[in-house]
Amino acid sequence: MQDDAGKKQKEKKSVLDDILGNAISSTKKYEETKTGLETKSCKSCGAARPSDTNLKYCDFCDNQFY
């Protein structure tokens, strides 16, 4: 009786190991990528401003950028 119970437990563990191994190997690996939009920030309030705009004043605190 002990042999049957031990054998079933080993089979369950083996199946679980196979499932987990497959899940880990098939999981997508994500890399850190740089976004296409670069921003500058207002020196006064820290609000973001796209670098390709011609804004002269901050929309939030009216601080002059240039």
Number of H helices, E strands in the chain: 1, 2
Mean pLDDT of 19-26: 85
Long-range contacts at 12-19 (CB < 8 A, ≥ 24 apart): none
Predicted pLDDT at 9:
66
Predicted pLDDT at 35:
67
**Which position has the higher pLDDT, 32 or 24?**
24
* CA end-to-end distance (rounded Å), the chain: 84
17 phi/psi in degrees, rounded to 5: -60, -40
Would you say residue 23 has pLDDT above 80?
yes
Q: What is the pLDDT of residues 36-62, one digit of tens each?
A: 667 778 888 988 887 777 888 888 898
Domain boundaries, the chain: 38-66
- Residue 49 and residue 61 in contact, taking contact as beta carbons nearer than 8 Å: no
